[in-house]
Amino acid sequence: MKRTTFILLILASILCLFSSCGEEGANLRPGLYVSTELIDVFPGKQVTISGQASCYTGLRSVSLTCAALGINQTSDLSSQAPKVWNFDYDITIPMDATFPQDLIITATDIHGSEMKKTVSVRYAPSTTAPYIGGLRKQIAVDFDEESGQAECLLTATLYGEDFLKEAKVEIPDVDFSETYPLSKREEEITISHIFTAKGTYPMTITLSDNSGNITVSEHKLIVMKPEVLDEISDYTCLYAFLGNVEQSDYIYGFYQYVNRVDAYQYEVHVYAPSDETSFFFSPTMQTNGERLFGESPLVEDHIISVQTEPGYVQGYKPGQGYWGLWIDLREQSITKWTLDNSEADKTHLYHTADWNSWSFSDMTAGETPYQQQADITIYTGNQYFAFATATDWSHMWRIWKADGELAGWWFSEDGAGDGAKLPSITTDTEATIIFDTAIPWCWIIKK
């Protein structure tokens, strides 16, 4: 009897051992991590709840629920039973939501054990102001002399982080006031009015959203005789001309090359020594009046070419400093931005008036930290110029060739390269070279 009992005890121990091995981890609850336990929202806002669930024995499901907000999202994982599951639940807060509320995230393993996390949801209005797109600050409205009227028909696109509430448009001088009710995050409104007299009419657009954010945008409607624009083309390049200097004073550098970036769109870097410095743009290297683009004297930043009234177009004035200019002929617009000159070479440059002799001379400090200058004599028949850094002589700059090759930095390990000729001169000429490493560009001016 004792022997039989002993054997039964051994068998029971073995069965218990196997049973405990098969259920290892069964009594452990799933692990659950959520990236945040508190979110501030407003009705209509979209948010993402992220986190990770894990379980030694495998997961059966992960769910996100909140009955009050109508949220019930469940990921059925029973067919895979992963041990780790990363989740991202995208939810939209209902427009009729009440606050505060709790989102419940539940991780369930294959044995039915659960782990829950709570994410508190509370109300906080948006602090991002809505904005208005599609309208310039100054807007030209063509006046018809025959009918004595000007039809203004404008489309503005309105944007908001929260849902938009309304837009109010006012033109006080003609007693125009209209309110447009809104209900989406992005909407368009059409502003329509008939003017019966030329002039400049201030217009105000006041845009609000459901969080109470307000944006006020000021515009000017310029009712005027239509500007008769010259025909435009998608030019291979443009040239930027200084508008307030005499071309005859320059041997080289009166114009700068303007690179074509896309159809009808061009980019150039310029230096304006004063607020009164102006620029014109042309597809040729000659300022003979053909296709000379400038700024409308009435509509700011409106780039046009008017040939029917010579002298109507004025030069574009970006203001003193280094600027990048983006010219869009089709949209008749120009955009400027301040150039980052942190990479500009501020060391001394050397120059030679004769590429072949390599008789380099030091250039002295110029107007800005990025400019160097030297007085030279250009001899007839000796019209080659090159520039180099003071350190390694490998960063050369060459002037344009007669065929209009783009000027700029080029790199030569051994200094080899062909000379680039200046425009023809017939007599020996004293001149000043000003080289600017921030653009880079070179001016050669008669003394």
Instruction: State the average pLDDT over residues 117-133.
Output: 94
Q: Is the pLDDT of residue 328 over 70?
A: yes
Q: Is the pLDDT of residue 339 over 80?
A: yes
Backbone angles phi, psi at 244, to 5 degrees: -120, 35
Residue type, 430: E
Backbone angles phi, psi at 15, to 5 degrees: -60, -40
Instruction: State the average pLDDT over residues 274-297.
Output: 82
Residue 426, pLDDT score = 77
3 state DSSP class of 247: helix
Q: Is the pLDDT of residue 282 over 80?
A: yes
Q: Which fold has domain 131-224?
A: Immunoglobulin-like (2.60.40)
Query: Max alpha carbon distance in the chain (Å)?
Result: 134
Instruction: State the average pLDDT over residues 242-253.
Output: 79
Q: Is the peptide bond before 440 cis (omega within 30 degrees of 0)?
A: yes
Q: Do domains 31-123 and 237-338 have the same CATH topology?
A: yes
Structural contact between residues 253 and 421, judged by C-beta atoms closer than 8 angstroms = no
Residue 218, pLDDT score = 96
Q: Is the pLDDT of residue 85 over 60?
A: yes
Structural contact between residues 436 and 371, judged by C-beta atoms closer than 8 angstroms = yes
Residue 386, pLDDT score = 64
Quick one: residue 353, left, alpha or beta (phi over 0 = left, psi -120 to 50 = alpha)?
alpha
Residue 420, pLDDT score = 41
Instruction: State the average pLDDT over residues 284-292.
Output: 70
DSSP structure string for 47-81? EEEEEEEE-SS-EEEEEEEEGGGTEEEEEE-TTT-
367-379 b/e (C-beta count within 10 Å ≥ 16 → b): ebebbbbbebebe
Kindly tell me the burial class for residue 109, based on how many C-beta atoms sit within 10 Å of its own C-beta (0-12, 13-18, 19 or more).
Answer: buried
The most confident of 90-99, 221-230, 306-315, by mean pLDDT: 90-99
CA distance 321 to 315: 16
Residue 338, pLDDT score = 95
Q: Is the pLDDT of residue 289 over 60?
A: no
Residue 121, pLDDT score = 95
Instruction: State the average pLDDT over residues 162-182.
Output: 97
Residue 400, pLDDT score = 40
Residue 232, pLDDT score = 85
**Within 10 A of 107 (CB to CB), how many other CB atoms are there?**
28
The mean predicted confidence, pLDDT, of the chain is 82
3 state DSSP class of 162: coil
Residue 99, pLDDT score = 94
Q: Is the pLDDT of residue 261 over 70?
A: yes
Q: Grade residue 387 by pLDDT with cuts at 50, 70 and 90.
A: low
Q: Is the pLDDT of residue 150 over 90?
A: yes
Residue 411, pLDDT score = 37
User: Which of 50-64, 194-208, 367-381 is the least confident region?
Assistant: 367-381
Tokens of 394: 């490998």
CA distance 234 to 216: 37
Q: Which fold has domain 31-123?
A: Immunoglobulin-like (2.60.40)
Q: Is the pLDDT of residue 341 over 70?
A: yes
Q: Are strands 114-123 and 38-41 parallel, antiparallel or unpaired?
A: parallel
More confident residue, 293 or 355: 293
More confident residue, 288 or 398: 288
Q: Which CATH class is domain 237-338?
A: mainly beta
Structural contact between residues 415 and 393, judged by C-beta atoms closer than 8 angstroms = yes
Domain ranges across the chain: 31-123, 131-224, 237-338, 349-446
Instruction: State the average pLDDT over residues 81-106.
Output: 94
Instruction: State the average pLDDT over residues 156-185.
Output: 96
pTM tops 0.85, yes or no: no
Instruction: State the average pLDDT over residues 380-402.
Output: 53
Residue 357, pLDDT score = 57
Q: Is the pLDDT of residue 81 over 50?
A: yes
CA distance 139 to 221: 5
Structural contact between residues 69 and 121, judged by C-beta atoms closer than 8 angstroms = yes
Instruction: State the average pLDDT over residues 402-430.
Output: 51
More confident residue, 225 or 285: 225
Instruction: State the average pLDDT over residues 366-385.
Output: 77
Q: Grade residue 346 by pLDDT with cuts at 50, 70 and 90.
A: confident
3 state DSSP class of 45: coil
Structural contact between residues 320 and 277, judged by C-beta atoms closer than 8 angstroms = yes
Residue 33, pLDDT score = 94
pLDDT tens across 180-235, in order? 999 999 999 999 999 999 999 999 999 999 999 999 999 999 999 888 777 888 99
Residue 427, pLDDT score = 82
CA distance 296 to 277: 16
Q: Is the pLDDT of residue 155 over 80?
A: yes
Considering only CA atoms, give the Rg of the chain. Answer: 36
